[in-house]
Amino acid sequence: MIAEKQLTPHIGAEIQGLDLNTISLEDIAPALVDALARHHVIFLRDQFIDLEQQKSLTQVFGPLSRLDYVEPLDDEPFVIRVLKEADEGGGTFGGNWHTDFSFVTEPPAGSVLSAIEVPPVGGDTLWISQAAAWDALPDDLKKILQGRDAIHVGKPYGQKWAPSKETRSGDSMKMVRGDPVADQEQRHPAVLKHPVTGRHMLFLNPTYVSRLDGMSEEESTPILDQIQTHTTQPTFCCRFHWTAGTVAIWDNMATQHFAVNDYFGHRRLMYRTTFAGPSPRELAPPTNHHAIDV
């Protein structure tokens, strides 16, 4: 029998009473899909799954998809290693609030992250609910965003906004750097409608969004900063402490996440797979400039 233990009222739940090594995925797939839609991120502790099991689990939520900007494992084109060595300085992969690869035409619908080796303390990950943030957004900001696109750019991977050596994540990740294609602007709706729950949710994040459509960067920045401060308030957030063998699954369209870089001296290794889903354009709510609660 599967039980859900919510981590906070707005986001995150541990799924308990489930062993991926013995259970049939077919039997539990509808419950997992439903739990992910309601909680945005779900956690399964003590699973210790291998890569074949991880890929099968990922396909419960959508077709496996590849990431263009991080080199996959040699013989596993759908798996990336999220690794920081004990002596590796600089930033960490995902160490800022972001929605994965929101600057591409079809960003991942979600990801599965399986913890192999974790620090004894630190190395937590935080997620925030873009749906809870939308619900509580002041009406004047909702009005600015309704029916509007935001412009996304692959800043860490391009040339124009390339991060410094001190802040970028280390060589263990084998990321593409300095690619002029990543500097090209990609438009996505600033607000999406969830395909399962029908909830509205912000689709903005500070790592990749450079400005709002119809505004300059100077005009957009104070608005985007205000929205991001609202979005990342602790009420809309859950913080997860990893143990080896844990698997996390998140809805990329409904969340931002942040990997905390506080474990220098310890190795952290995870395997990540990604699933595809509807594009942000397909998730745009019907345009209605008059109604706030569309």
How would you list the strands of the sheet with 110-117, edge to edge? 3-6, 13-16, 41-44, 247-251, 110-117, 268-275, 80-84
Q: Which tokens is 95 given?
A: 């160490």
Q: In the complex with ligand SIN, which residue's Cβ is closer, 125 or 220?
A: 125
Cα(26)–Cα(57) distance, integer angstroms: 10
Q: In the complex with ligand SIN, which residue's Cβ is closer, 173 or 202?
A: 173
Number of residue whose CB is nearest ligand SIN: 94
Shortest Å, Cβ 134 to ligand SIN: 22
Cα(55)–Cα(49) distance, integer angstroms: 10
Q: How far is CA 169 from the centre of its chain?
A: 17
Query: Applying CB under 6 A, which residues contact ligand SIN?
Result: 82, 93-94, 125, 257, 259, 270, 272
Per-residue three-class SS string for 98-134: ECCCCCCCCCCCEEEEEEEECCCCCCCEEEEEHHHHH
Shortest Å, Cβ 95 to ligand SIN: 8
Q: In the complex with ligand SIN, which residue's Cβ is closer, 93 or 208?
A: 93
Q: CB–CB of 234/19 below 8 Å?
A: no
Cα(271)–Cα(55) distance, integer angstroms: 10
CA distances from 7 to 10, 43, 94, 231, 235 (A): 8, 10, 22, 18, 12
Q: In the complex with ligand SIN, which residue's Cβ is closer, 42 or 259?
A: 259
Give catalytic residue positions: 98, 100, 257, 272
